[in-house]
Amino acid sequence: MKEIPENELEQNPTPIIEEELPPNPFLISEDQVNEVRRVQAERLALLARECSKEPRPSSDVYERILAQLARRFEIVDKYRVSNCMVLKAGFTAWNALLAYVLGRQDLIDGHQTYMMSRVLKGSSAKFSSINSSPDFMKFVVAREPLSRLLSAYRDRIDAAYETGAANRFIPLILTLTRGMGYQQTYDNGTKVMPTFEEFLRYIASVAPESHDPHWRPISLQCGACYVNFTLIAHAETLNEDLGYILRETGMEKDADYTILLYNSHKGRGNTSDLLENYYRTVSPQLMRTILAIYRKDFTMFGYDPSDFLKKMYPDGSVVWNPEV
């Protein structure tokens, strides 16, 4: 092969094609910052009003609750921010970002960024101190409950039956709904899978406190009325909310937004487009039970299922009553 002189290489360099990066959806303008602050004031005021209706625990009970909540919160001292670990609400993307900005390349390379929740877990005393500190941003990401339930079913039960989580829950669901003969049996070579309606029947049969974190009510696992939240993000407005968090904590200058993009929406399509198809099979009685279980997630975080229920149950057999 003829060697190309160095001077020709310099005069005729091989063109380098750089992949164009998508625009940063987490970079927000001053107008957006002001809008986020306005919306946050409304969300926090709503939560305060709903919590004022709840009984106040004794100091001893309150301390025990905080000790339990400490297990659900990540604490990032470098950026003075703490968040409740809410699965099926952007948690994967957030932990991937934390692994990057905190230099945990080992977890990134090993595809174990979910381990950040263990790395960043603080003691009960530390969490209690942070909860009372005005210098720490404390946030939770809420998600519309019916969408979160469907996402949990599709990702953890219907599509992931070879994982440990599905192998644990599928026999429980099928035993409850079909009897002892359906513990992960096969029908003509096809594995028997619980339907979405059967998944909801299982949820209705278990105390909410015992639910798996992927579908446990957010208000319950994040202590909605016991944590001094400074920000309530919504999965439906996550770009703006995360953009504000990154800006206010100073994380923005260290963060690679493409990590958030890459780890966002890793599920199986747009859940909102599928809601009607899946919930169409849910009986009025079962739907009323589900609404009761997740009532506080609706009321405390500002979600109203009225329009969806009118579409699913035009005969008025299921109506939304936030007080029941």
* pLDDT tens-digit readout, 146-193: 999 999 998 888 875 566 677 788 888 998 998 876 665 666 656 788
Q: What is the mean pLDDT of residues 52-66?
A: 92
CA distance 127 to 259: 28
* Residues β-bridged to residue 138: 82
Q: Calculate the alpha carbon distances from 150 to 56, 145, 160, 163 in Å.
A: 33, 9, 14, 18
Query: SS3 string of 186-222?
Result: EECCEECCCCHHHHHHHHHHCCHHHCCCCCCCHHHHC
Phi and psi at 323, nearest 5°, equal -90, -5
Q: What is the mean pLDDT of residues 86-94?
A: 86
Q: Tell me, what DSSP letter sits at residue 18?
A: P
Checking if the pLDDT of 2 tops 50, the result is no
The predicted model scores a pTM of: 0.85
CA distance 196 to 279: 8
* pLDDT tens-digit readout, 103-122: 898 988 888 888 898 999 99
Phi and psi at 3, nearest 5°, equal -80, 135
HSE, side-chain direction, 13 A CA sphere, residue 142? 25
* pLDDT tens-digit readout, 183-234: 656 666 567 889 999 999 999 999 999 999 999 999 999 999 999 999 999 9
N residues, the chain? 324
Question: Which residues, at least 6 apart from 51, have a Cβ–Cβ distance to it below 8 Å?
Answer: 224, 225, 300
Burial of 10 (0-12, 13-18, 19+ CB in 10 A): exposed
Contact 222, 140 (CB under 8 A): yes
pLDDT value at residue 89: 86
pLDDT value at residue 92: 84
CA distance 302 to 103: 36
Phi and psi at 30, nearest 5°, equal -65, -35
CA distance 298 to 287: 14
